[in-house]
Each structure stands twice: as C-alpha cells, then as structure tokens.
Amino acid sequence: MNLDWSLDEEAFAAEIRAMLSAELSEDIIDAGRNATSVYPDHEASMEWQAKLNALGLAAPHWPEEHGGRNWSAAQHYIFTSELAKAGAPSLSPMGIHMVAHVIAAFGTPEQKAYFLPGILSGEVFFCQGYSEPNAGSDLAALQMSAVPDGDDFILNGSKIWTTHAQEANWIFCLVRTNNEGRKQEGITFILVPMDQGGVTVRPLTMLSGETVQNQVFFEDVRVSRANVIGEVDRGWQVAKYLLEFERGGSAYSAGLKVRAQGIREQAARFPKGQGTLLDDPIFAQKLARAMIRIDVLEVMELKLLSAAGKGKSVGAMSSLMKILGTELAQHLTEIALEAAGPSGSVFQPHATRPGAEVPSYEAPADGYVSGGRWHAKAPLRYLNERAGSIYAGSNEIQRNILAKHVLGL
C-alpha cells in the first residue's frame, strides 16, 4: 500500500497552505493554538468561519449543490490536516457539521433554502437540544413534550449540556410527540428559534471553570409544524443519522498529531537529570506509543472518509472513531501534564483562550503566568477532555453499538 500523497495532492496541500498564510490573522491563530477544549473562543471562530465562507471553504464536506466541494477523501483529509498544522480554530460543529447534514438529507426545499445558506454565513447559529436531566446516554428516554395546537406545537421541558446556547439563535431538538409504543417511537426532530418568550438559558460551570455549556428551559414555547425535520413521531431515525456525523464525521488524527508534536517539543525543552524529559525512556516510550496509535487512527479515518466520499453511510464505524479519537485525546492530555511539570498544575485561564467566560476566576492584576501559555493550557485541556468519552453518547454506549451491529452480539 502506497501512503504517499500524489503530485496533485501535494499541489493541493501547497494551495491550502498558501490560503491559510494569507487569511489567518495572528489573533485567529492565537485563538486556535491556545484553545482549552474542542470549542475555541467564539468570536474568533465566527470570524474565521466568515473568512472561509467568503472563499467557499466553510463546509467543503457538504454536497456541492449546497456549497460543498467535490473533493476526494484525500483532499478533505489534507484540508483538515493543514488547518490543524496552521493553528486555525475549529468551527462550531452543531450547525455546519451536524444539523446541516440532516437538513440536506431530510429537509423540505424551503428548509434547505433558508437554513443552509444561513448556517454557512453564521447568521443561523445552532445549538443542540438532545440530552435531558434524565435522558443522556439513554437518549430515547427523553420527555420534553411537544403538544400539537393547530399548525404549531407547544413545547415544555428542558435540555441540558447545551453547548453555545448563550450565543445560538436556533436549537435543534428531539421532543416527545407520542407516548405510545417503544420509547424510540413518538420522537420528533424540530428546529426551534431561541429568541422568543418561554426560552430560558442557564449557564453551567464546567470542571475547567468555563461556561460553554448550559441548561435550556422551555415553558409553553410555540413552534410551527413547518420546522419539523422529517416526519412527526419518526425523528429517531433522523437523530441517528445526525449522530453519525457528531461521532465520526470528521477526522481526529490530524489535530491529535499536532498536539502530540507539541508535547514532544515541550518535553525536549524540559530538563531532567543530565538531559531532557524526552531522553527519559519511560516517557519517550509512552509518547511513541501514543503517536503510533494516532497513525493507526489516521489510516482508519482515511478508509472511512473514502467510503463516505463514495456515498456510503459510516454507520456503526462512527462509534469506533469516536472511541479511539476521544480516548487518545484524553491520553495526550495526561502526557501533556507530565511534560508541563509543576507549572502545569497551576490554574491560569487568563493565559489561554477559553471557549467561554470563566466567571469564578479573577486574573492577577499584572497578568503573571507561571511557566508559559503551553503550561497554562495543559491543565485546562485535561479537565475539558474528561467530557470527551461522555459527549455524543458515552464510550460505553459506543462499545455496545459496535458489539451489536458489527460483532452481532
């Protein structure tokens, strides 16, 4: 098997590097490189999305008719890899990487015409309304109600762990429209405008101190039936389709490679004994094994992206990518803390670019930082990545999916 890029692919990579060099400002790079979780500084992320949209590159993975690019799987991977190498911040995934695919696949012509261009431009900014206080990994247990009233539904209930609810003007929700039959039945997928009476957003403080996530309450919120995606009572199939993109619709390995290389560089500067931490055979072996696992993940992702590029559903394999990607990310944060040394134990969000406010933290008046920004980021990223094996369905649930649909157990 030849894993080298072709001359055309090398030329494509050079073209993307040139674009990034011209379009990425220092502030946007700073937001990407000093982000403490998968969600970078919101304003910088939206600024970067606007630049990419102007170039027709905000969503190259979309179907061409909706603004995507007819790229090969290799080109998609190269694009993702070059973004990571350049330090570009990620874009909020709820719209571009998640609900947009559902709207493109199940939406009416009117829904596609309104929402898809708005998602690309950032004028329509979505958050996700799936989990509830008593329905997380067992999502089908959700109870938020949607009662029909003429051409509308009346919504009552709450959603939790809702990322970016404080910035979003739309939320895509799974709601209970029927209590008969199996719990997976009677669920409807609906789009709800956030800027209306009866919708209340309450921030939740994460382990890192950030308030990226929220609980959203709905009290007699009126939503038009025209906002239903797919069929009433048949939203579970729509939700499962979306989860393929949430769990495995993008490549983890490109970003993980950049992070692993950053750890290697830091370890090479960390004095230990007569040499550096990188000379420590135990640490070096730990890092090498992680980098080998990233290479394995890369090969698997390329295979999966190739299949998706041919119109095949990623199906249960998205669960495998989610397990490998999130657990590797967590492992890298543990190695990074070791490489950061004592300075990595200090809570210093002011030296980084958190994804949201850290209201309980007061930065020192003189802006002092113990160690460097890399050291300050290590503990925050460690705390944030603890959620990686839980969000989008816990990794235990993902293993159950693989056992059932791949192994037939």
- Reported as type and span, the H/E element at residue 382 is helix 373-385
Domains of the chain: 7-91 (no CATH), 125-238 (2.40.110.10), 250-405 (1.20.140.10)
pLDDT class for 16, splitting at 50, 70, 90? Answer: very high
State yes or no: pLDDT of 262 exceeds 60: yes
d(C-alpha 258, C-alpha 81), whole Å: 9
Structure confidence at residue 2 (pLDDT): 58
Structure confidence at residue 308 (pLDDT): 61
Structure confidence at residue 149 (pLDDT): 96
Asked if 218 and 199 touch (Cβ cutoff 8 Å), the reply is yes
Of 389 and 47, the structure prediction assigns the larger pLDDT to: 47
Structure confidence at residue 207 (pLDDT): 87
Of 200 and 386, the structure prediction assigns the larger pLDDT to: 200
Exposure b/e, 178-217, CB count within 10 A at least 16 = b: eeeeebeebbbbbbbebeeeebebebeebebbbbbbbbbb
Structure confidence at residue 260 (pLDDT): 95
Residue (of 299, 374, 296, 286) closest to 332 by Cα position: 286
pLDDT class for 245, splitting at 50, 70, 90? Answer: low
CA 197 to chain centre: 29
Q: Using alpha carbons, list the distances in angstroms from residue 285 to 77, 252, 264, 278.
A: 28, 22, 12, 9
Q: What angle do CA 409, 244, 312 make, to 5 degrees?
A: 90
Interval 345-355: pLDDT, tens: 899 999 999 99
d(C-alpha 93, C-alpha 96), whole Å: 6
Interval 309-319: pLDDT, tens: 566 666 677 78
d(C-alpha 194, C-alpha 243), whole Å: 22
Q: What are phi and psi of 118, to 5 degrees?
A: -65, -35
Tokens 């000093």: give the residue.
Answer: 34
Of 275 and 221, the structure prediction assigns the larger pLDDT to: 221
